[in-house]
Amino acid sequence: MTQCIVYDETTKESETFCSLTAAKKWMRERIKQKHEVSGQKYRVYSDGEFVNCGSISLTGSNKSFVANTRQTKKGY
């Protein structure tokens, strides 16, 4: 499962989303209100472990490699 955590640095508010689309939408709404926002994407495994997959970019690709997996191309 992919989990996205976004943080509004202006109001010190944070939100957690299970989809990248919803996280990007929230970030864009805050940017329209002249807020500074940032976000991180995490891969969560069934045993509770999680891996940071990098920051959320509103333009371009958000795909990245996850270390110690059998990935041959960017996926998460």
pTM (two decimals): 0.78
How would you label 47-65 residue by residue, b for 16+ Cβ within 10 Å and e otherwise?
eeeeeebeebeeeeebebe
Which helix or strand (DSSP H or E) is residue 9 part of? none
Instruction: Catalogue the long-range contacts made by 13-22 (C-beta closer than 8 Å, 24 or more residues apart).
Output: 20/56, 20/62
Q: What would the pLDDT profile of 55-76 be if each residue is shown by its tens digit?
A: 888 887 777 766 666 666 666 5
Q: Enumerate the domain spans of the chain.
A: 2-55
For position 65, what pLDDT does the model report? 65
Asked if 18 and 1 count as a contact pair (C-beta separation under 8 A), the reply is yes
